[in-house]
Structure 1
Amino acid sequence: MLEIQNLTKKYGHYLAVDHVSFTVPGGQVGILLGPNGAGKSTIIKSIAGLLRYEGGVGIEQMPARTLEAKRIFAYVPEMPAMFDALTVREHIEYVRRAYNSPITDEEVEQLLIRFELEDKQNKLGNELSKGMMQKVSICCALAICPKVILLDEPMVGLDPAAIKELKEVVLELKAQGVTVLISTHMLEMVKELWDVMFIMEQGKIVGTFTREQAKDTDIEELFFRITGGGESE
């Protein structure tokens, strides 16, 4: 479960996020959407622990800042950053050891195969394309065996085969009871994945929909109905 409680973030006198609260239950996929400047990126970075903020973030009913919570939380940033001198395989091994992850060697091999990195595993971080770095970032996050995972624009830069695999992985995580939050502007990419959708505008949640509430209404129609057709971030 991921719980956001009265999260507020100011930059000087500018209120970027205004007492935002929402919950993604365990085993569900939440989608965070919002027009440019809505505060979506601030929410994402706050959840990931990259910004100071007021309010609370809970990971499996533990404060997000605690070591126990961090051990079961994974984050795939929009702009992945690699260690120049580590290979693809060493990145995964580094995360595996840092988190004392129970992932097996066989499971690591399967991740590399699924994301077509098996023949790239000895490449250094500074030799990778944006798409390759994105795949490595996803594999590192999955290597933690998280209970809660945050994916920020995860499909940007991925090839069609990797997008297909990532969608399958998200559904597998959901089936395993993992909580997933995806921040994206690629609405068509998450149509078959989402369980609950949060729409932000001007620093607030202005719309929350579950799949049951939406019924047969298209996700894009719901988004544009709330935002008035603004460009998504």
Structure 2
Amino acid sequence: MLRCHQLRKLYEDHLAVDGVSFQLEPGEIGGLVGPNGAGKTTTMRCLAGLIPATGGQLAVADCNLADHDSASLTELKRRLAYVPDDPPLFDDLTVGQHLEFIGRIYNVPDRRAKASELLEYFQLDDKVNAGATTLSRGMRQKLAICCAYLYDPQVLLLDEPMTGLDPPGIRRLLQSIRDRAAAGATVIISSHLLAMIEDVCTHLIVMQHGRLQYFGDVQSLRNEFPSATSLEQAYFEATARELSACS
């Protein structure tokens, strides 16, 4: 469902992503973790087809993105949803109109019923007639996620999706990610806080300075560092080891 092989992205003289490789199957949830500036968002944007890769091979939802071909990108948009860390909304539309617009674009059957269910789940049903500019940061985030879920994409890319959410909102979001994966979607959720997402992920994609430092299932990272009392500690030990190897 998602293949990333030797991904490279060069911005003028800055190599933001350097030879990153991983793959995820339907039903799997990859946690893309690393410090600020690790290359997480650039990787997500390349996978979403928003920016062309400088090198490597990308296949997402059976769409080959290696050549950044317009036909492949158009088909990818039907199969993938990308929610950035600060999702852009339409200032002139209400909450309900956002979902109506997305539902029509993607020709979603029973779009209004599905929209109502999503708004109720994310506790936005009382904001259906509210304008986008009146929403808090967390509400804007939840609205963007509702729009992404509405057309049941095969691949979900969520970049720092918990920004602005309160604890109940985070709990609902993480449960919704589990549910989407259980229904067959492939999900990547990025964060620089591993402790927030470790319970929902099946795999970890650890990046630092644009490079992949670990890819594998969650338990394997725990097993690799048996003295670590938490997954986060194992992550820090792996990161320290890699830095020592490079110094």
1:148 and 1:37 map into 2 onto residues whose CA distance is: 24
Contact 2:31 2:198 (C-alpha < 8 Å) held by counterparts: no
Match of 2:203 in 1: 196
Match of 1:84 in 2: 91
Check 1:52–1:60 CA distance in 2 against 1; reply closer, same or farther (3 A cut): closer
1:112 and 1:37 map into 2 onto residues whose CA distance is: 33
Q: Which stretches of structure 1, 4 residues or longer, exceed 3 Å deviation after superposition? A: 214-217
Gaps of 5+ in 1: none
Check 1:23–1:103 CA distance in 2 against 1; reply closer, same or farther (3 A cut): farther
CA deviation profile, 1:13-45 (whole Å, cap 9, x unmatched) = 221111211111110000111123221221122
TM-score for the superposition, normalised by structure 1: 0.91
Bigger Rg, which one: 2
Q: Select the residue among 142, 148, 158 that pairs with 1:141.
A: 148
The letter of the residue matching 1:61 is D
CA-based RMSD of the aligned residues comes to 1.9
Aligned length: 230
- Return the offset for 1:228: 2.4
1:185 and 1:203 map into 2 onto residues whose CA distance is: 14
Q: Select the residue among 155, 162, 165 that pairs with 1:158.
A: 165
2:166 and 2:136 map into 1 onto residues whose CA distance is: 12
Contact 2:33 2:193 (C-alpha < 8 Å) held by counterparts: no
1:4-23 to 2 correspondence within 5 Å?
4-23=4-23
Bigger drift between 4-13 and 26-35 goes to 4-13
Gaps of 5+ in 2: 242-247
TM-score for the superposition, normalised by structure 2: 0.87
Higher share in helix: 2
DSSP 3-state at the match of 2:195: helix
- Return the offset for 1:215: 5.1
Q: Using the aligned pairs only, state the percent identity.
A: 40
1:222 and 1:103 map into 2 onto residues whose CA distance is: 45
The letter of the residue matching 2:194 is L
**Structure with higher RCO (Cα < 8 A, 6+ apart):** 1
